[in-house]
A and B are shown apart, each in its own frame.
Chain A
Amino acid sequence: MTSSFRIQCFKFMASLNDYLLVSGLLFSIGLFGVVLRRNIIIVFMCLELMLSAANLSLVAFSRFNTANGLPDYNGQMLVFFVITVAAAEVAVGLAIIVALYRSRQTIHTDELTSLKG
């Protein structure tokens, strides 16, 4: 397995598996941040990283699976929709964070324990 990866790294053109590997690594960095960090704004940024990692693999699939000799634009449409929904989600999420800060004076997830049993 390692030898096949090494051969891929030194090819002239990047292959599909290279893109999927990088996208998976970005996704896992985002996941790590979501689990590790206590600051809710940084957790939110890490969520954005995870969405972007999914976008990268979608665009890679669209380029590597051609339809009629062109990149498959269905994949890129999905990326377009994901980006738009993510922008709306950020706006609403940040408004919720501001409302939370107004009522609790903190944005650390450790200190938000009202739902703790």
Chain B
Amino acid sequence: MTVTEMMPFGVLIPLIAAPICALLPGRFLPWLTAMLAAVLSALVMAQVLPAAVDEPLRYAFGNWPPPIGIEFRVDAVNGFIGLLVSLMATVILPWARISVNQEIPERQGLFYALFLLAFSGLMGITLTGDAFNLFVFLEISSLSTYALVAMGRPKTAPLSAFRYLIMGTLGATFYLIGVGMLYIMTGTLNMADLAERLPAVADTRAVQAGFAFIVVGIGVKLALFPLHRWLPGSYANAPSAITVFLSSTATKVAVYALLRLVFTVFGIGFAAAMPYAEIFFILGLAGILLPSLWAIQQDNLKRLLAYSSVAQIGYIILGISLLSVTGLTSGLVHLFNHAIIKAALFMCVCTVIYQTGSARISAFQGLGRQMPLTMLAFVLAGLGLIGVPLTAGFISKWVLIQAAIEQDLWLAVVVILIGSLMAVIYIGKVAEAAWIQPPVEGRAPVKEARAGLLIPMYVLVFATYYFGIDTRLTLDFATAGANVLIGATP
């Protein structure tokens, strides 16, 4: 089997495993199936990415050549994202098994089936080269995610899932309308084909409106400020494993979809002609500052991290609004780095929830002595979020600041630094509660989490520092990806 033939299996393995999972009894077998699917998918992507950097891999389904049939198309950008998604699933699943046993004791087959559907949907969005097919995968991942969020234990979980559903459906519909307009104007849905035909009709209102619909539609999915309202509730109420998985993959994949459509399909020239850069620049700045401020005010730590995620998306949006190779590199590299860092942080918080049953900051008081390893991991990953040198977060912020200075955007530099200082405050708030304040009186002593929860956490913490020192993998692929995106059609 050639690498090209292997490539679609990154999506197909979890997709096929999902119904099998649903039928399996008990707890262990469904998990094992999901785990195997994730590992295999990650192995496939690890083969695909190096092969896809020089020349895009193209696979036409059913041997129907595009633009008639559906095509998967992988280059440096989506190979990178696909590897990220499948790797995150692989790291998170061993951790998830323990927390899912506590939160969803029964019918785990269905849970893992939904998880695999969400996973394969995200992989599909990443690998597909067809604008309508992207919508299909978007819906696969979204619908399964709504159900997963509703499985959360808090009473408000179904409500959050419902809000997410409304917003998500609106976003998907906007996207579909946009794609429909492009189809009417060009008669094709294949991305590469669209990119060839669009310049001829670029000056029409229909294409411009289509662009707006697509950007807004995906903007909802990636929780672009101010379309982020669904995110904190969903993250806070979803089962822990889902929070960790979504925080590190779902919004990242949506960012990828935006990049792919704006830069590959419409092209940088079209984007530069629209007021895209200005709007994203402002939304990026506001999206860093306001959500950071809200994060500082949160009492529930899952919400705190969720708002922090919205703020981090602000950094990514700021990077891609600059329309330069450095800016896009910073966006892509932060996508990767933030996925690792935020997954580690959510894992720490969810581990505390597993041990104490509460995500409120008061539950963290004095935990530094009772759960030293978990809280140490929180502080270490938190330093990454702040962007301290030697962490992955520093690399992304450095590249972003460099991109801003290249265009003399000093305002952006100031905002990035203020955002970092705000991260110091909200991470410091938790660290102070855990390490300095005395334990709550009358609470039974909390034990350190078991190794099964700690090991994946420390794998991610290690990655936070590894990718802060050795940036060959992240920065090189991000730069290659940025060049692909800027350079016109793949």
Is A bound to B? Answer: no
Name A's B-contacting residues (CB within 8 A).
Answer: none
